Structure 1
Amino acid sequence: MAIDSTSFQVVPGFFRHYEEPTGPQFRAITLPNMGLIDRAYETDAAFDPEGKKTQWERFVRFLEHKNEQGQGRVQYKLIFLIRHGQGYHNLKEAEVGRHEWETFWSHINGDDRTVWADSQLTEKGKQQAQALNDFWRNAIATGMPTPQKYYTSPLARCLATTSITYSGLNVTADQPFKPIIKENLRERFGKHTCDRRSTRSWIADNYPSFQIEPSLSEADELWQSDRRETEKEIADRVRTLLRDIFSRDDKFILSFTAHSGFLRALYGVIGHPDVWVSAGATVPVLIRVS
């Protein structure tokens, strides 16, 4: 596959999330069974002639088949997208309102009660991540597959969400829980102190079992106090991330833990409707890579 010219396109017709309302008045939540639509697949006759397999078992076999057909030239990747749980920056914005947050509070490190520079999860945010952990425990029992590989933003709220969400789940030797920290999964760079990451040393000390990509610098060299990353720039960053991961990773069921701005940019790149995602929710997207 010519990586530089790779295209990424969402594949509709498999998840209810694709059909949800767009815009800021609606927030998508984690749906039962991840919103997998009850439907037939072209592989059912050979794979499940007696009709005893679960919907997820049949869907995974269908994806395997499509990837076999593609022979590396066309790939199908199922990504479970997690928006981190509520952070202290979310709490402050809700308190003061959008305008006050954007014009003043987002530019400082905190107030006399909390700090939101590289914002940590609030107690509610931790509970939201634990609810995802409970969701996965129940989902695994009904046949839903866990991710084969895990990727996360290096910002503190995403690291904690990833850790809590997948903690203690049964994983196999060929699918270990060893999240890979990717700089390009970050929220939009600049101005907002909540989006200024901690040092590489802090990440390594607090998440020793996570794998930090080699290029991640000690200090945050991307965040600028006087300039916010543009929508075009974050879209280009999303494309770079997808090319990077999809060219290296042969797994087809992945997990990304990221941010609202990143998710909206990703949806723009792959042609997914602009569905806004709630804090602490997991939503699925199926991407065709060619």
Structure 2
Amino acid sequence: MTIASCNIQLPSSSCYSSCCCISPTTFPKPKPKQLSFNRTTASLSDMDATTNPGLYPLHRCKTLHLVRHAQGIHNVAGEKDHAAYLSEELFDAHLTPLGWQQVDNLRKHVRETGLSKKIDLVIVSPLLRTMQTAVGAFGGEGYKDGIDIPPLMVENAGESHHPAISSLNCPPFVAVELCREHLGVHPCDRRKSISEYRPLFPAIDFSLIESDEDILWEAKAREKNEEVAVRGMKFLNWLWTRKEREIAVVTHSGFLYHTLSAFGSDCHPAVKNEICKHFANCELRSVVIVDKSMMGSDPATTNYPGKIPSGLDLPSDVADEKHAEEGVAT
């Protein structure tokens, strides 16, 4: 398994690095080499920094679990006829029955791997298909009568024919407009009013969305790819204002592709490809973003200062240098 560190210069003065842990890959078997353990003949200057692992303080990193929504009715219609994306019948598209099966499979995966216990926050695009995916994959267990706590999703929300989903024993959910899909022209990417969503998803926090109505989507103007990427960078900047360290983001194919395509240019081509390839429906990929510009100020929670109680602890190599200097001085 290799870890590659990849940088991008943001529109502002900030700079991010995205690190992606990739699964083992089969490479040609190297020829046997004669190894010597007596002495290292190569100097550090001879080593290619781009082929070696990178290090960075853990508290200046965040782990993102990126998820594309499950199959929606617009995916099915658009696969048959691309012109269908212009249909008002696909307005704020909901998940298909197959899409809900994909959500159930993802839910099993995040529980079997222990990921569900690690996530501190779920960020979700405020569209029906993403919210259905998010609460289905990361929500609590079956809603229980008699417990005075709002569910994440009420029964049959968005023509789902799905039972209510509990908000018990799960991370908080926050809706954020910055991670919406390509804006404009396609009705499937236009959202309902927040006042319509709240009764359907009572435990999702919509407080960060400023307008009840969708004022971002335009009928005659489609957002440019470059504009989606810039919006994605703003979204990553915003994530650094959050205290949470492991965050699930449930969003859209176009948003993920154009945002992530800005990363990986200084990585191995295989890593670049892994970061930037299109997401399948309900696919999850975990990545690490690194704060190289000191935007965050959170202290390291796992670091320990050492030397408590105090005592002599001069490293041997430093001691040798110190004594050698003292010997010269005398």
1:201 aligned onto 2:195: yes
Q: In 2, Cα distance between the equivalents of 1:79 and 1:278?
A: 17
Q: CA RMSD of the aligned region, Å?
A: 2.5
Q: In 2, Cα distance between the equivalents of 1:251 and 1:270?
A: 22
Deviation (angstroms), 1:281: 1.3
Deviations for 1:224-250, whole angstroms, at most 9, x for unmatched residues?
11110001111111111111121x212
Q: In 2, Cα distance between the equivalents of 1:8 and 1:213?
A: 27
Q: In 1, Cα distance between the equivalents of 2:263 and 2:206?
A: 26
Q: What is the match of residue 279 of structure 1?
A: 281
**Unpaired segments of 5 or more residues in structure 1?**
20-62, 69-74, 111-115, 170-174
With CA pairs under 8 Å and 6+ residues apart, which has the higher RCO, 1 or 2? Answer: 1
Question: What's the secondary structure of 2:261's corresponding residue?
Answer: helix
Q: In 2, Cα distance between the equivalents of 1:221 and 1:148?
A: 30
1:93 aligned onto 2:78: yes
Matched letter for residue 289 of structure 2: I
Deviations for 1:85-113, whole angstroms, at most 9, x for unmatched residues?
000000101222xxxx1xx3212212xxx
Q: In 2, Cα distance between the equivalents of 1:168 and 1:5?
A: 40
Matched letter for residue 139 of structure 1: T
Deviation (angstroms), 1:253: 1.0
Q: What is the match of residue 22 of structure 2?
A: 15
Asked if structure 1 preserves the Cα contact closer than 8 Å seen for 2:92 and 2:190, the reply is: yes
Matched letter for residue 246 of structure 2: I
1:1-290 map, 5 Å: 4-12=12-20, 14-16=21-23, 66-68=57-59, 75-96=60-81, 101=82, 104-110=83-89, 116-140=90-114, 145-168=117-140, 176-246=170-240, 248-271=241-264, 272-273=272-273, 274-290=276-292
Q: In 2, Cα distance between the equivalents of 1:109 and 1:197?
A: 12
Matched letter for residue 179 of structure 1: F
Q: In 2, Cα distance between the equivalents of 1:132 and 1:211?
A: 23
Q: 1:144 to 1:88 in 2, by over 3 A?
A: closer
Deviation (angstroms), 1:269: 3.0
Deviation (angstroms), 1:289: 2.0
Q: In 1, Cα distance between the equivalents of 2:207 and 2:235?
A: 12
Deviation (angstroms), 1:145: 4.7
Deviations for 1:208-233, whole angstroms, at most 9, x for unmatched residues?
10111433311110111111000111
**Unpaired segments of 5 or more residues in structure 2?**
1-10, 26-54, 142-168, 265-271, 293-330
Matched letter for residue 154 of structure 1: P
Matched letter for residue 195 of structure 1: D
Deviation (angstroms), 1:178: 1.6
Deviations for 1:100-142, whole angstroms, at most 9, x for unmatched residues?
x1xx3212212xxxxx2110000011110111111122112xx
Deviations for 1:32-72, whole angstroms, at most 9, x for unmatched residues?
xxxxxxxxxxxxxxxxxxxxxxxxxxxxxxx9x8234xxxx
Deviations for 1:146-175, whole angstroms, at most 9, x for unmatched residues?
311110000110000001001226xxxxx9
User: When the two structures are superposed, what TM-score results if normalisation uses the length of structure 2?
Assistant: 0.62
Matched letter for residue 66 of structure 2: L
- Structure ranking higher in helix proportion: 1
Question: What's the secondary structure of 1:81's corresponding residue?
Answer: strand
Deviation (angstroms), 1:6: 1.8
Q: 1:15 to 1:163 in 2, by over 3 A?
A: same
Q: In 2, Cα distance between the equivalents of 1:215 and 1:167?
A: 21
Q: In 2, Cα distance between the equivalents of 1:250 and 1:178?
A: 13
Deviation (angstroms), 1:270: 3.1
Question: What's the secondary structure of 2:290's corresponding residue?
Answer: strand
Q: In 1, Cα distance between the equivalents of 2:101 and 2:118?
A: 20
Calculate percent identity across the aligned residue pairs.
24
User: When the two structures are superposed, what TM-score results if normalisation uses the length of structure 1?
Assistant: 0.70
Asked if structure 2 preserves the Cα contact closer than 8 Å seen for 1:200 and 1:216, the reply is: no
Asked if structure 2 preserves the Cα contact closer than 8 Å seen for 1:270 and 1:287, the reply is: no
